[in-house]
């Protein structure tokens, strides 16, 4: 994560990955999971900085990544690092035709989320994050505690 940089001052609009982030090449996820697909994403994946109160997500209409401007400006660097890598896994899933918002599953049980978190947790462990820190990272306001704990168990965090 040492080479990771966030261009926090960007205005709302559409950007390429490298205009917003640098240093992702050194991540475990790019080196071991995305590999050459990341080169393709750098050319084709759009990042849209928008005004919203959340974090980031992949839009299933076109596979672009939306980031809330406030989060980009003020979010914790490590959280943003893990989040963008998590979203890049979703871009990869989207490119393969997965339904990223499959309503048959709750958030923490959705196969696309479990897979993305599996890789994100591996990245987090490599950053030296403790179980408690990873559990805190997995906690999101839209999913209940019980489901988050189940997810953590499924990911071998607990």
| Contact set with Zn ion (CB under 5 A) | 113, 116
Q: Which is nearer to Zn ion, 113 or 123 (CB)?
A: 113
Q: Which is nearer to Zn ion, 38 or 94 (CB)?
A: 94
Minimum CB distance to Zn ion, residue 113 (Å): 5
Minimum CB distance to Zn ion, residue 116 (Å): 5
Q: What distance in Å separates the CA atoms of residue 9 and residue 32, rounded to the nearest whole number?
A: 30
Minimum CB distance to Zn ion, residue 101 (Å): 10
Q: Which is nearer to Zn ion, 24 or 116 (CB)?
A: 116
Minimum CB distance to Zn ion, residue 86 (Å): 5
Q: What distance in Å separates the CA atoms of residue 80 and residue 55, rounded to the nearest whole number?
A: 8
Name all contacts of 130-136 with Cβ < 8 Å and 24+ positions apart: 131/157, 131/158
Report the Cα 53 to chain-centroid distance in Å.
Answer: 16
Minimum CB distance to Zn ion, residue 118 (Å): 11
56, 59, 79, 152 from 136: Cα distances, Å: 17, 25, 10, 10
Residue 85 near residue 121 (C-beta atoms within 8 A): no
Nearest to 8 by CA among 90, 68, 63, 52: 68
Q: Which is nearer to Zn ion, 49 or 85 (CB)?
A: 85
Q: Which is nearer to Zn ion, 13 or 85 (CB)?
A: 85
């Amino acid at each position: 994560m040492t080479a990771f940089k966030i261009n926090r001052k960007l205005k709302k609009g559409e950007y390429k990955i490298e205009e917003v982030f640098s240093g992702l090449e050194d991540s475990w996820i790019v080196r071991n999971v995305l590999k050459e697909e990341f080169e393709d994403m750098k050319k084709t994946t759009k990042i849209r900085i928008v005004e919203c109160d959340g974090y980031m997500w992949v839009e299933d209409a076109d596979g672009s990544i939306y980031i809330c401007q406030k989060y980009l400006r003020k979010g914790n660097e490590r959280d943003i690092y893990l989040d963008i890598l998590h979203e890049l896994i979703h871009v990869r899933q989207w490119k393969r035709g997965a339904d990223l918002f499959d309503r048959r599953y709750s958030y923490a049980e959705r196969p696309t989320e479990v897979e993305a978190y599996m890789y994100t947790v591996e990245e987090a462990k490599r950053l030296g994050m403790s179980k408690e820190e990873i559990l805190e990272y997995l906690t999101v306001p839209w999913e209940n505690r019980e489901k988050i704990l189940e997810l953590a168990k499924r990911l071998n965090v607990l």
